[in-house]
Every structure is written in structure tokens, then in C-alpha cells.
Amino acid sequence: MKGIVFTEFLEMVEERFSLEVVDGIIERAALPSGGSYTAVGTYPVEEMGRLVGELSAATGAPVPALLHAFGKHLMTRFTQGFPRFFAESTDALGLLERVETVIHVEVKKLYPDAELPSFECTREGPDRIVMVYRSPRRLSDLAAGLIEGCAEHYGETLDVAREDLSGDGQAVRFTITRGGGT
Amino acid sequence: MSDPIAVLERALERERRARKAAEGLLEEKSRELFTANQDLRALAGTLEQQVEERTRELALARDEAVSASRAKSQFLANMSHELRTPLNAIIGYSEMLREDAIDAGDEALSTDLLRIHSAGKHLLSLINDVLDLSKIEAGQMDVFLESVPVGPLLADVVSTIRPVVEKNGNTLELVAEGELGTAHVDVTKVRQTLFNLLSNAGKFTSNGRVTLTAGREREGDRDTLVLTVRDTGIGMTPEQMENLFVPFKQADASTSRRYGGTGLGLAICEHFCRMLGGAIVAHSEPGVGSTFSVRLPARQPRAEHPSGSFERPARPSRGAVVVVDDDANARDLLSRTLAAEGYTVHAAADGEEGLRLAREVRPVAITLDVLMPQLDGWAVLSALRADDSLRDVPVVIVTMVGDRNVALALGATELVSKPVDRERLASIIARHVKAPAEILVVEDDEHSRDLVVRVIEGHGCTAVCAQNGRIALDRLAERQPAAIVLDLMMPELDGFELLERIAVEPALRAIPVIVTTAKTLSREDRGRLEGRVQQILQKGLYSQSDLVKWLERVTVPLAEAP
């Protein structure tokens, strides 16, 4: 998993909770990397699992809720770090449609070793797309948080219906409908 | 609760390690970039080297191709010369013997000789086709554009090809749609294209109709000459039309057996049309007939002959002719006819003016109308005969009414009645202004030389021979001939060199020269001949009458010269 996910995660924990909580979950997780992350590095995805698990244990918040919140946070950072991609779309559905076909293509050019989830999109109408998340990492909660963060960026309200296609979270269908409350 | 200092220390330690890891990654990336950059440079260097090598190879291949092409065209030029020279003798002698046989009333012999003559002509046309196509394919076919009046060009084509078309019981018609004017085209290629289309039409049609329709399409800047050959012959199926313009392909194998030909004609026509910036299109229906349409750009840079001037700058004048007629139309017609024959025409609307002009320009001939107000034709004639300087000038009476014997008795040379038969008028004038003249024949091939000499002598002139340019120069030093018939390819001093020597001799420069050659002339060759020769006759392609016409023309003014 790319280092930026780890550094952003730890920054979020430090902002929302404290440096102490960060230190605590790292210590308890007993990570092979020792919890030293750089945004340009690559680290085992299991470490993220352990960190989120420890955070849940330390705060009492369920893992899905934490991943969701992290997804929203990550999207905020993306809008700051890569404003070009967001300027190229005029609305949230437009941007989401371009994740697979444009944004991930660009990411692959910079980081050929990046293991990215796939987001297969189908346009079902002017206000609706179907997006199928596929990844062995089963992080569809994170994806849901990213979708919500995206809607917030464009000042839109999206109705997101979620259906687990594989039964184990490796393939999840999001039916995303633009609401009237923009 | 944990110790805040310890927490900070650990956080700091993690940041330090992360920084070091990042620095390590950065260095690794830098090294990768450096290596990639070096690889790219090496690749660029190799590529440049490869490009250079390829360029060298290509240049070499091009040089080889150019020299091979030169060798090929040289070979073709030699071949054409070698093949056409003996053919010229075969064609010329058979034509001449045939005339003798006809005169002697030996019909069987004349028929056989005609067969030899036709076979020779046919062989020559096949050789020419193959050579043309080779030249086209070698990119050696040059285009010579000149401004020509379209009407006379087509009339000439039609009259030449008429016997071929009519042989199968066909009728041949020339239809001009609107004013055809003057076109800026390559006359030889247009003629050859039309000959081919018309002879094809005649070949594949029997007891039918062949039509050559000519028109001009002017649209904005575009000015197109459209020539259409239509027949009512056997026509073609769509399958047969597929390979129509492909060299060596005839409709099917049986076609060549039945109708002859090389299957090169249409391919050559198509190339010619394209070279002239035009196109050729065919339509056909089996059993109904075929239509071939040639469209050529007819750029027309100049207006037609300005009225009042009938001089042709292209060739030297055969001398001045004074035309006296009070009728403007008749005057114009006579003037045009004589100008077309190469005379400088001075027209007068009445007898007084005619006399004045005659005294002024000392014409080689005068045409005179009889019925004119004030001074009539007879009065002008007697005034002319009374004038020492004009006494011997041939006078042709051109009149609606008049008795030839009276005219001759009054001192006229000949009488021509109106409406004027232009050819007759031209030949009368040519005949009467002519005097026996000496013609120098410069030719290395014995047969060709004898042929020309016999034509010259048959025309009432005397011939002096030279086997090459050097001997010709000796002859020229002795005596000046009225004209020179010149071959180009000769040993020692060739025709080109001889022309160069003549050009620097003021006394010889004005002698009219006609070239007869078997050589295929390049643009360069033509450039060297331009301005120095009056006409070029291709051996085997010209008939004796071409040479005779020229002789008639050139022997006139010189014989008249004091």
C-alpha cells in the first residue's frame, strides 16, 4: 500500500485524537516497519489493518466508521494535492466516472508498482451511476468515505446504495444517485 | 498515561527514520533516472547512426537507380534510332515504288507494295508504342506546350484518320460545340491520343458511326477542352472495362487475335492525359458502343490573332503577298489563308492602294479582284505589267466572273474563281513563286539519303549530298543551297554541331533547315534545335508529302531573292 495512505491516516488520527493515540496504536500494533512511514514509500497493507484495528480498540469506534471517516479525510487531501483532476470535472458523478479511466491511469504512470482497486462505472442516467469496487483488500468502507468526500467537495448530496456482490467485501456495487438538495 | 516526552521522542525517531527512508528512495529514483537518461542518450546516438547509415544506403541506391535509368533511356534512344532508320527506308521506298507501280498501271504490284508499306507503318507504330510507354515509365516523357487553334488541329486529325475509320464501312463526323478557340496543349500528345481513340473506335465498329465531339467548358478560372470519341461498335462489358487502361491488357486474349494491337494505346493515352493535367473516362455498353471522354486544361494565355495582322512569328515568312479586294470578308479570308501558308500579307481595299503597296513591299505574288470601284482589276493588272520592278510578279486573279483565257492574255498568271478553294489558291501561288532550287541533304544513312534526294528531284529541285556535318560545311563553303535537309545522328560532325557552326555564319544563318531524324528528341535536344530549324520530321512517321510541302514553302522566297 502506498505510504501516503499511512501518513494521511496517522495525521488524521493525530488531528482528531492526539499524538498520544498515534503513538499508542503504533506501539501496540507492533509493526514490521516500526510505524515510520514516508509518503513516497510502499508498505504492507496488513499494517493498515492493524493500525485501524488498534484505533478501534483505543477509541471504541467501529472499524467501518473509522475507514469511512478516513475516506472523507483522504478525499480532502486529494482535492488539495491534485486540484487539476477536480477542476476537469464539473460534478461529483463526473469525477467518480474518471477515477478508473483517467486518475488511476495517471497514478500508474508515476507509480507503476501501485496496486489500485478498480472502479468500474456505468452511467444509468443524468443523475445516476453504478460503480463497482473490486479489491482483495476489502476496503469498500474507505471507498464509501471517498465518495462522500467527493460529494462534499462539489457541494452535492449523493444517495449511495451499497450491495456486496461477492459476499466477502471484495466486490461491492455502489449505486450513486444525485439528490435534489444541492 | 504514557510519558509525553517518551511519546515525542518516539514520534521524532519515527519521523527521522521515515525521512531517511524517503532520502534512500529519492536516491534510488535519482539513480534510476540517471541510468534511464544514459540509456536514452545511447539509444539516440545509435538511432542517429542508423539514420546516417540508412541515408547513405538510400543515396547509394538512388545513384544506382539514376544511372540505371540513364542507361535504360540511352539504350531506348539508341534502339529507337536503330530500328526506325531501316524502317524508314522500308516505308519510304515502298511508298515510292508503289507510286511508280500505280503510274505503270501494275495493280498487283501496287497492292503488294501497299502491304509492305502498311506492315512497315504498323511495325513502326508498335515500336513507337513500346518506346513511349518505356519513356513514360522512366519519367522521360517531356511535355511541350504550345498555343494552337483547336479547330484546325481536330480537322487535321480527322482527315488523317478518316481512311482508317471508314475502312470498316463507318462514317466519321467531327462536331464542334461552340467556339473552340485556341488551346495551350501538347499538340503531339493530343493528336496521338485522338488518333488512338479514333482508330480504336473504327476498329471495334463496323458499318456504324464514329463521332469526335469537341467543346470548351469555361467555369471561373477553369477552362477545359473536352474531346469525346463516341462509336456505335461492339462495346465492352464492365469486366472488360476493368483493365482498360492497364498496359499490355486487352479486353481478352481473343481480342488481340481478332483486332490486333499491342494493348498499349489506351495506357499511353491515359498517361498523356494525366501528364497534361487532364483525365480520360470511358463509358461503354456491350452491343451499343463506347464513349471515351478526354478532358484537358486549355489554358489560354493570349487572345486569338489580333485583327489586321496575319503574320506567324513562329517561322520565317515566305515573302510578302499583296491582296487586293474591295470586299472586306473576301479580303479577310484571302489574307488568313495566305498567312496560314506562311506569307506576310498586305491587304488593300482598292486598286490604287494595291498598286502603292505592291511598289512598296515588292511582293512575291499578288491576288487581284476584278470588280472594284474606281480602278478595276484589269486596270491594276496592266499597271503592274507596265512597271519594270513588278512586271514579273505572279498575279492571281480572284474573281466571281471572268474568263481564264482573257485573264492570261491580259498578263495574269492564273485565275481562281470565287468562292475560293483555299488549297488551290495556296498551291497556285506556291507553284508560281517557285523556281528550281538547290537543296543540301546531310545524311549518313545511304538509303535515307537516296529517299530524300528522290523526293527533292521529284519536286523539281536539285540535291547536293553530304555524308556528315564536316562534308556539309565544305559544300556550304562552295555554294549556298536554298535549303538544308539535315539528319542529326552522324559520325564526325553531327547535326547539332553543324547547326551550331551554321548559326555563327551570317551568310548561312538564314538558310531554312528541316531535320529528319530517327532519334527520340529530348527536351534538351529540342532546345538546341529551337530557332535553328524550321521543322522536325520523325523518320518513318512523316510521309513524302510533308517533305514536299516544306520544299514548296522554303524554295519560294529564296528563289525570288535578287
Reported as a pLDDT band with limits 50, 70 and 90, residue B313 is: very low
> Among residues A57, A77, A79, which one has the least CA distance to residue A154?
A79
The string over B14-47, giving b where at least 16 C-beta atoms fall within 10 Å of a residue's C-beta and e elsewhere, is beebbeebbeeeeeeeeeeeeeeeeeeeeeeeee
The answer on pLDDT for B305 being more than 50 is no
Cα distances from B468 to residues B81, B465, B474, B485, in angstroms, run 17, 9, 10, 12
Q: pTM (2 decimals)?
A: 0.40
Question: What number of other Cβ atoms are within 10 A of residue B449's Cβ?
Answer: 20
In three-state secondary structure terms, B461 is: coil
Please, what's the largest Cα pairwise distance for chain A? Answer: 49
The answer on pLDDT for B316 being more than 50 is no
Asked if residues B417 and B407 have their Cβ atoms less than 8 Å apart, the reply is no
A35 chain-B contacts, CB cut-off 8 A: 14
B510 in contact with A at a CB cutoff of 8 Å?
no
Res B77: pLDDT: 67
| CA B242/CA B227 separation, integer angstroms | 22
The more confidently predicted of residues B199 and B315 is: B199
CB pairs under 8 A between A and B: 42
User: With 0-12 CB in 10 A as exposed, 13-18 as middle and 19+ as buried, what is B374?
Assistant: exposed
The more confidently predicted of residues B6 and B553 is: B6
Q: Do B7 and A34 touch (CB under 8 A)?
A: no
Average pLDDT estimate for A3-26: 93
Looking at A72-76, B224-228, B479-483, which range is the least confident one?
B479-483
The answer on pLDDT for B562 being more than 60 is no
- Compute CA A60 distance to the chain's CA centroid, rounded to the nearest angstrom: 21
User: With 0-12 CB in 10 A as exposed, 13-18 as middle and 19+ as buried, what is A178?
Assistant: buried
In three-state secondary structure terms, B53 is: helix
Reported as a pLDDT band with limits 50, 70 and 90, residue B343 is: confident
Best to test chain B binding among A7, A36, A37, A42 (most B CBs inside 10 Å): A36
The answer on pLDDT for B261 being more than 80 is no
| CA B140/CA A20 separation, integer angstroms | 93
Q: What percent of chain B has pLDDT over 90?
A: 22
Reported as a pLDDT band with limits 50, 70 and 90, residue A58 is: very high
| CA B374/CA B371 separation, integer angstroms | 9
A24 chain-B contacts, CB cut-off 8 A: 2
Res B308: pLDDT: 32
Cis peptide before B86 (omega within 30 of 0): no
Reported as a pLDDT band with limits 50, 70 and 90, residue A19 is: very high
- What confidence tens digit (pLDDT) does each residue in B20-76 have? 999 999 999 899 999 999 999 999 999 999 999 999 999 999 999 888 877 877 777
Res B426: pLDDT: 83
Phi-psi region of B346 (alpha: psi -120 to 50; beta: other; left: phi over 0): beta
Res B138: pLDDT: 67
The string over B403-430, giving b where at least 16 C-beta atoms fall within 10 Å of a residue's C-beta and e elsewhere, is eeeebeeeebbbbbebebebeebbebbb
Res B23: pLDDT: 92
> Among residues B431, B452, B432, which one has the least CA distance to residue B443?
B452
The more confidently predicted of residues B159 and A120 is: A120
The answer on pLDDT for B165 being more than 70 is yes
| CA A74/CA A70 separation, integer angstroms | 6
| CA B542/CA B526 separation, integer angstroms | 18
B18 in contact with A at a CB cutoff of 8 Å?
yes
| CA B53/CA B44 separation, integer angstroms | 14
Average pLDDT estimate for B167-184: 89
How many CA atoms are closer than 13 Å to the CA of A105, on its beta-carbon side? 6
Reported as a pLDDT band with limits 50, 70 and 90, residue A105 is: very high
The more confidently predicted of residues B555 and B17 is: B17
Q: Which residues contact A173 (CB under 8 A, 6 or more apart)?
A: A130, A131, A132, A133, A162, A163, A165
Q: Which residues contact B42 (CB under 8 A, 6 or more apart)?
A: none
A39 chain-B contacts, CB cut-off 8 A: 22
Average pLDDT estimate for B105-124: 87
Res A20: pLDDT: 92
The more confidently predicted of residues A55 and B161 is: A55
A26 chain-B contacts, CB cut-off 8 A: 10, 14
- What confidence tens digit (pLDDT) does each residue in B414-465 have? 888 777 777 788 888 887 775 557 889 999 888 888 888 888 877 767 788 8
Report the amino acid identity of residue B526.
Answer: R
Q: Which three cell numbers stand for residue A93?
A: 458523478
Q: How far is B5 from chain A (nearest CA, A)?
A: 10
Reported as a pLDDT band with limits 50, 70 and 90, residue B96 is: confident
Res B18: pLDDT: 92
| CA B98/CA B301 separation, integer angstroms | 46
Q: Do B18 and A36 touch (CB under 8 A)?
A: yes
Q: How far is B17 from chain A (nearest CA, A)?
A: 6
The answer on pLDDT for A28 being more than 90 is yes
In three-state secondary structure terms, B322 is: strand
Res B182: pLDDT: 85
Tell me which residue in B4, B18, B26 faces A37 most closely, judged by beta carbons.
Answer: B18
Task: Enumerate residues 27 to 46 of chain A having a beta carbon within 8 A of any beta carbon in chain B.
Answer: 27, 34-41
Domain spanning A67-178: CATH 3.90.1520.10? yes
In three-state secondary structure terms, B408 is: helix
Please give the residue of chain A at the shortest CA–CA distance from B13: A36
> Among residues B397, B384, B423, which one has the least CA distance to residue B156?
B423
Reported as a pLDDT band with limits 50, 70 and 90, residue B306 is: very low
What ipTM score was computed for the predicted complex, to two decimals?
A: 0.79
Q: Where are the alpha helices (DSSP H) in B320-421?
A: 328-340, 351-361, 377-385, 404-409
Res B130: pLDDT: 78
Asked if residues B268 and B132 have their Cβ atoms less than 8 Å apart, the reply is yes
Asked if residues B159 and B173 have their Cβ atoms less than 8 Å apart, the reply is no
Res B248: pLDDT: 64
The answer on pLDDT for B558 being more than 50 is no
- What confidence tens digit (pLDDT) does each residue in A140-182 have? 999 999 999 999 999 999 999 999 999 999 999 999 999 854 4
Phi-psi region of B511 (alpha: psi -120 to 50; beta: other; left: phi over 0): beta
- What confidence tens digit (pLDDT) does each residue in B265-279 have? 888 898 888 888 888
Q: Do B14 and A41 touch (CB under 8 A)?
A: no
Reported as a pLDDT band with limits 50, 70 and 90, residue B256 is: low
Asked if residues B552 and B535 have their Cβ atoms less than 8 Å apart, the reply is no
B341 φ, ψ (degrees, to nearest 5): -85, -5
The answer on pLDDT for B561 being more than 70 is no
Return mean pLDDT, chain B. Answer: 82
In terms of DSSP bridges, do strands B414-417 and A128-134 run parallel, antiparallel, or are they unpaired? unpaired
B66 in contact with A at a CB cutoff of 8 Å?
no
Res B310: pLDDT: 35
The more confidently predicted of residues B498 and B260 is: B498
Q: Do A40 and B25 touch (CB under 8 A)?
A: yes
Tell me which residue in A22, A24, A41 faces B21 most closely, judged by beta carbons.
Answer: A41
The more confidently predicted of residues B248 and A70 is: A70
Cα distances from B479 to residues B474, B507, B509, B511, in angstroms, run 9, 11, 14, 12
Angle at CA of residue B526, ends B520 and B529, nearest 5°: 120
Asked if residues B480 and B512 have their Cβ atoms less than 8 Å apart, the reply is no
User: Domain boundaries in chain A?
Assistant: 3-61, 67-178
User: With 0-12 CB in 10 A as exposed, 13-18 as middle and 19+ as buried, what is B349?
Assistant: middle
Average pLDDT estimate for A95-114: 90
